[in-house]
């Protein structure tokens, strides 16, 4: 009998091994240090293992932690301040974003990360400004993080420009953000639970010269590229005006597509362009809630998978989702795709659960370490309590309702325990490394300061949402 650090028994264990969900009705997981030592039937594991800590997971689901490939926690403080309008980025997000400072960014980011982890996300692909500050939050909470600094060359008053016109690049911005990337990579890449990517924001948001520099830097460092691709009509129109090509043909022509590319959205691409992305082996991130909310788009995820492409999921940002909750990402993404296809059979629950776990691990290039419960993989897993009304009853046969209820019923409040690298970072539904009540208090104080800055910011005078607020609609 071996005594492992943690032994979880009698759970409904969803391993995500194989081509389905690899579900075991009375399952167990043995964790030693940061890795999974054994996974299987409780009766079998019980013969070999005892645990320093034993969790009885009766009436609970044990499954791999969810993986969010694409979020912008640096925008967290602006939750709910931009939606329901045309030209969301230029007319909603940019004028609000202009009021962010270190304080608002860092505190808002902490709240988003807390939300993600409390709702079952163990790995966050975070992508934003002031990454070095944001990384402190990930290290504090204890989740796994793939961090990317957003690199662009947009002028500070970008919100003044016509979205359908080009703007003059500001090389100083690009240099500073590239420098921040280099510092971050040097200090943090590969340290603990942190890895880094290189993040040109989009084909239309930095010069071709900078794009080339960044790709070359990434190649030398052995890092992947995290980039928005064809995320709007605007992007294609600006690329056409600058280069005579839409975004994807422009990227292809310049050798900027390939298996090192993690491409968010691909939402405004023509079918042939989508095929180009898949042919080059780019990995796609589907951010369903966000793309629906900001412009009513359902990105071509089912199509991308049919073309052989890898698709992961992402929550994107709080001012246009407005959640960082992977359970809602799976449910809403599923329903939106069913409606796009006009069929209830698209993305059956088992497949969507793969997208939120093992397929997202593949999208981040980490499927050898996370995304399923397998011997030797990192012990990143979550335990969900099924004794909520909306997860009741538990039915195991002839139709087992566990996987369908995880996709169509769960909303994240079921998450009791979150384990990353074998360490318990949520226990009994509470973060172990953060005083959440204090963090929320600080975020509300920071929100007031942010609100005050916005009040005296001329760029917000003609924002529709401010007008609606005055009119008592919002």
Among 42, 74, 236, 289, binds its own copies (CB under 8 A): 289
In angstroms, give the least distance from the CB of 369 to its own copies: 24
Site map (CB under 8 A) of its own copies, residues 148-177, x = contact: ------------------------------
In angstroms, give the least distance from the CB of 134 to its own copies: 16
In angstroms, give the least distance from the CB of 262 to its own copies: 24
Residues 173-212 that bind its own copies (CB under 8 A): none
Among 12, 286, 298, 384, binds its own copies (CB under 8 A): 298
Give the nearer residue to its own copies in terms of CB position, either 256 or 439. 439
Tell me which residue of 130, 123, 94 sits closest to 109, measured CA to CA.
Answer: 130
CA angle 419, 423, 428 (to 5 degrees): 55
Asked if residue 108 binds its own copies (CB under 8 A), the reply is yes
Among 8, 31, 36, 82, binds its own copies (CB under 8 A): 82
Give the nearer residue to its own copies in terms of CB position, either 84 or 165. 84
In angstroms, give the least distance from the CB of 166 to its own copies: 23
Among 192, 387, 430, 435, binds its own copies (CB under 8 A): 387
Whole-number Å distance between alpha carbons of 18 and 38: 16
Whole-number Å distance between alpha carbons of 84 and 46: 54
Residues 237-266 that bind its own copies (CB under 8 A): none
Encoding tokens for residue 276? 């180009």
Residues 350-369 that bind its own copies (CB under 8 A): 350
Residues 396-415 that bind its own copies (CB under 8 A): 396-405, 408-409, 411-413
Asked if residue 471 binds its own copies (CB under 8 A), the reply is yes
The partner residues of 54 in beta bridges, in order of sequence, read 7
Please identify, among the stretches 67-75, 248-256, 271-279, 286-294, the one whose residues bind its own copies according to the rule CB under 8 A. Answer: 286-294
Asked if residue 465 binds its own copies (CB under 8 A), the reply is yes
Please identify, among the stretches 169-177, 236-244, 301-309, 348-356, the one whose residues bind its own copies according to the rule CB under 8 A. Answer: 348-356
Whole-number Å distance between alpha carbons of 123 and 326: 11
Asked if residue 444 binds its own copies (CB under 8 A), the reply is yes
Give the nearer residue to its own copies in terms of CB position, either 177 or 331. 331
Site map (CB under 8 A) of its own copies, residues 302-341, x = contact: -------------------xxxxx--x--xx-xxx-xxxx
Please identify, among the stretches 26-34, 63-71, 246-254, 392-400, the one whose residues bind its own copies according to the rule CB under 8 A. Answer: 392-400
Residues 42-71 that bind its own copies (CB under 8 A): 59
Asked if residue 77 binds its own copies (CB under 8 A), the reply is yes
Evaluate whether 97 touches 339 at the Cβ level (below 8 Å).
no
Please identify, among the stretches 175-183, 238-246, 275-283, 459-467, the one whose residues bind its own copies according to the rule CB under 8 A. Answer: 459-467
Tell me which residue of 81, 74, 86 sits closest to 111, measured CA to CA.
Answer: 74
In angstroms, give the least distance from the CB of 312 to its own copies: 20
In angstroms, give the least distance from the CB of 455 to its own copies: 6
Q: What does the longest C-alpha to C-alpha distance in the chain come to?
A: 70
Whole-number Å distance between alpha carbons of 79 and 140: 22
Asked if residue 96 binds its own copies (CB under 8 A), the reply is yes
Give the nearer residue to its own copies in terms of CB position, either 363 or 439. 439
Please identify, among the stretches 49-57, 78-86, 221-229, 234-242, the one whose residues bind its own copies according to the rule CB under 8 A. Answer: 78-86
Only one residue has tokens 């069929």, namely 343
Only one residue has tokens 């759970």, namely 11
Distance of CA 65 to the CA centre of its chain: 13
Among 20, 40, 155, 258, binds its own copies (CB under 8 A): 20
Please identify, among the stretches 126-134, 184-192, 277-285, 291-299, the one whose residues bind its own copies according to the rule CB under 8 A. Answer: 291-299
Asked if residue 440 binds its own copies (CB under 8 A), the reply is yes
Asked if residue 98 binds its own copies (CB under 8 A), the reply is no
Count of residues of this chain found to bind its own copies when the rule CB under 8 A is applied? 100
Encoding tokens for residue 148? 């990317």
Asked if residue 11 binds its own copies (CB under 8 A), the reply is no
Asked if residue 115 binds its own copies (CB under 8 A), the reply is yes
Encoding tokens for residue 459? 């760029």
């Amino acid at each position: 009998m071996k005594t492992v650090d943690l032994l979880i028994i009698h759970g409904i264990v969803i391993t995500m091994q194989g081509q389905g969900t690899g579900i075991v009705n009375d399952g167990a997981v043995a964790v030693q240090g940061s890795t999974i030592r054994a996974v299987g039937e409780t009766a079998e594991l019980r013969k070999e293992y005892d645990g320093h800590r034993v969790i009885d997971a009766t009436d609970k689901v044990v499954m791999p932690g969810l993986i969010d490939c694409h979020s912008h926690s640096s925008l967290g403080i602006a939750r709910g301040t931009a939606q329901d309008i045309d030209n969301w980025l230029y007319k909603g997000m940019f004028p609000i974003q202009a009021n962010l400072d270190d304080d608002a960014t860092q505190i808002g980011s902490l709240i988003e990360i807390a939300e993600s982890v409390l709702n079952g996300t163990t790995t966050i692909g975070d992508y934003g400004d002031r990454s070095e500050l944001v990384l402190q939050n990930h290290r504090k909470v204890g989740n796994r993080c793939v961090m990317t600094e957003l690199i662009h060359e947009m002028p500070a008053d970008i919100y003044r420009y016509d979205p359908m016109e080009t703007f003059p690049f500001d090389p100083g911005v690009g240099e500073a953000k590239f420098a921040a990337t280099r510092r971050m990579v040097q200090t943090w890449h590969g340290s603990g639970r942190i890895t880094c990517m290189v993040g040109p924001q989009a084909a239309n948001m930095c010069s071709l010269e900078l794009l080339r520099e960044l790709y070359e830097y990434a190649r030398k460092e052995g890092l992947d590229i995290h980039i928005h691709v064809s995320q709007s009509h605007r992007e294609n129109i600006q690329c056409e005006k600058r280069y005579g090509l839409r975004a994807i043909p422009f990227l292809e022509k310049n050798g900027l597509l390939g298996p090192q590319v993690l491409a968010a959205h691909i939402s405004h691409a023509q079918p042939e362009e989508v095929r180009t992305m898949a042919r080059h082996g780019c990995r796609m991130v589907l951010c369903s809630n966000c793309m629906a909310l900001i412009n009513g788009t359902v990105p071509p995820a089912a199509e991308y998978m049919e073309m052989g492409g890898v698709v992961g999921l992402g929550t994107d940002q709080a001012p246009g989702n407005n959640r960082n909750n992977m359970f809602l990402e799976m449910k809403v993404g599923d329903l939106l795709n069913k409606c796009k296809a006009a069929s209830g059979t698209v993305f059956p629950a088992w497949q969507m659960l793969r997208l939120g776990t093992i397929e997202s691990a593949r999208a981040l290039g980490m499927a050898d370490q996370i995304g399923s419960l397998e011997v030797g993989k990192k012990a990143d897993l979550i335990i969900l309590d099924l004794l909520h009304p909306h997860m009741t009853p538990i039915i195991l046969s002839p139709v087992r309702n566990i996987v369908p209820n995880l996709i169509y019923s769960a909303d994240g409040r079921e998450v009791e325990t979150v384990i990353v690298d074998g360490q318990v970072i949520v226990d009994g539904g509470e973060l172990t490394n953060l005083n959440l009540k204090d963090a929320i208090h600080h975020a509300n104080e920071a929100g007031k300061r942010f609100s005050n800055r916005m009040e005296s910011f001329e760029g917000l005078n003609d924002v529709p949402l401010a007008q609606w607020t005055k009119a008592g609609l919002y």
